[in-house]
Amino acid sequence: MKTFHLFIFLLFLLLQHKFFVRISNRTNITMSGNSQKSPCFEKPRSVVKKVLAKAQYEGDGAIVRRSIGRPELKNFDPFLMLDEFSVSPPAGFPDHPHRGFETVTYMLEGAFTHQDFSGHKGTIRTGDLQWMTAGRGIIHSEMPAGDGVQKGLQLWINLSSKDKMIEPRYQELQSKDVAHVEKDGVYVRIIAGEAFGVQSPVYTRTPTMYLDFTMKPGSQLNQSVPESWNAFIYIIEGEGVFGKENSSIVSSHHALVLSSGDGLSVWNRSARTLRFILVGGQPLNEPVVQYGPFVMNTQAEIEQTFEDYHYCRNGFENAKQWRSQS
């Protein structure tokens, strides 16, 4: 009888021990999750395509690394092109036209001077931003404003058919006016959209987010992205793990197309700083007919644009006498 009671007592202690171990494990898992401060994405995004931006010549002797706009990634609705440019005088982008989309120029190093045929002129420097809506037509030049190498990014964003013939406009921000936040080893400059609860003042006619992240070694990022938007990453410097924790490391000058989903996770496991842009936009789901700097919806509209440009009409009137000043 005593043996039976001893057996029951030992069984009770064993079950009690297992119960507390299970509770303890649950608590540790929960605490670990809280310490990372990461949102639980319903549908996390992953990398579905990787494109190396290879150097090529554009404009007048300028060197660019093109990712979106290459044969491997011709268009990524609503994005038409992404160039990382590296330009030294006298090279640059002399007088040339645009119609039907927006250009976003973001300076990484140095300075560029912009002039257009309506009298708009200015210089953007390291960290500055110019968001130009070409609309129905603009002719301008973009040239280096100093000695040495001038570096930056230029993104082309398509406009919907209803916006392609609007009047041109500019949004320009100096570096000091670009919204920024630093948190847990992650620094972000908010060109467009929102990050860490901070909103950019830039108006995006085609709904767009454009975030410039710098991550310290050992840091992790969790960034929400509207689920219906297309999104991509371009790595400026360093290397990181994007999307899934067990994904391969990807290094600079690569564009990464992301799957659909409501958020992105990034890990910097290297000993170096990681810098990249995360760009997302609402697809237009419209036909794209592009001929160089003209982007419309039909071939007939492209032919009409060539006529307007040639005869200096319907948006290109100021082209008759204008030449940029060197």
Partners of 65 in the beta sheet?
Answer: 55, 84
Write the CB contacts of 27 (distance below 8 Å, at least 6 apart in sequence). Answer: none
User: Pairing state of beta strands 54-58 and 62-66?
Assistant: antiparallel
Distance CA 161, CA 158 (A): 9
Partners of 110 in the beta sheet?
Answer: none
* Tokens found for residue 217: 């070694």
**114 labeled binding residue:** no
What is the residue-wise DSSP string for 99-165?
Answer: BSEEEEEEEEESEEEEEETTS-EEEEETT-EEEEE-TT-EEEEEEE-SSS-EEEEEEEEE--TTTTT
* Residue 150 contacts residue 87 (beta carbons within 8 Å): yes
* Tokens found for residue 318: 């100021």
User: Pairing state of beta strands 101-109 and 129-133?
Assistant: antiparallel
Q: How many residues does the chain have?
A: 326
* Tokens found for residue 292: 């160089």
Residue (of 216, 208, 197, 194) closest to 268 by Cα position? 216
**142 labeled binding residue:** yes
Distance CA 228, CA 259 (A): 10
**5 labeled binding residue:** no
Write the CB contacts of 83 (distance below 8 Å, at least 6 apart in sequence). Answer: 58, 64, 65, 66, 69, 153, 154
Q: Which residues are annotated as a binding site for Fe cation?
A: 96, 98, 140, 142
